[in-house]
């Protein structure tokens, strides 16, 4: 794990839990999430999941190192040669 990421998370978050190796699960207020995310991105981490509570402004997020993420965020969006024509659905109606 990057030695800077956990202390950065502790600075912004109510709770920080180290999961499998390099994954971090944090509980953070919404007003601090953007700043937190921009700071951990500099150190090679990205947000894998985020859940929000509708009753208050608290988010539970999981951050992982960029090289170790096991998903491709844009795989289905750009599967057809980087052209997304789903917004043109109305042109193809019968």
DSSP 82: S
DSSP string, 49-76: EEEE-SSSSEEEEEEEEGGG----TTTT
Q: Per the domain annotation, does 19 fall within a domain?
A: yes
Q: Per the domain annotation, does 2 fall within a domain?
A: yes
Residue-level pLDDT, tens digit, the chain, 94 residues: 789 999 999 999 999 999 988 999 999 999 999 999 999 999 999 999 999 987 888 999 999 999 755 555 555 555 555 555 666 666 766 6
Sheet holding 24-29, edge to edge: 15-18, 24-29, 58-65, 45-52
Helix axes 5-12, 30-42, angle to 10 degrees: 170
Q: Per the domain annotation, does 83 fall within a domain?
A: no
Instruction: Say whether pTM exceeds 0.85.
Output: no
Domain at 24, CATH number: 3.90.1070
Q: Per the domain annotation, does 31 fall within a domain?
A: yes
Can you give the residue range of the structural domain that contains 57? 1-67
Q: Per the domain annotation, does 54 fall within a domain?
A: yes
Q: Per the domain annotation, does 21 fall within a domain?
A: yes
Q: Per the domain annotation, does 87 fall within a domain?
A: no
- Both tokens of residue 94? 């019968």
Residue pair 4/45 in contact (Cβ under 8 Å)? The answer is: no
Residue pair 61/26 in contact (Cβ under 8 Å)? The answer is: yes
Work out how many domains the chain is built from and give that number: 1
């Amino acid at each position: 794990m990057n030695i800077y990421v956990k202390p950065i998370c502790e600075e912004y978050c109510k709770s920080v839990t180290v999961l499998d190796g390099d994954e971090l699960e944090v509980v953070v207020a919404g007003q601090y999430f953007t700043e937190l995310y921009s700071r951990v991105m500099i150190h090679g981490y990205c947000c894998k999941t985020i859940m929000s509570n509708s009753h208050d402004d608290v988010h539970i997020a999981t951050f992982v190192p960029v090289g170790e993420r096991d998903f491709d965020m844009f795989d289905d969006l750009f599967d057809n040669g980087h052209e997304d024509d789903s917004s043109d659905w109305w042109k193809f109606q019968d």
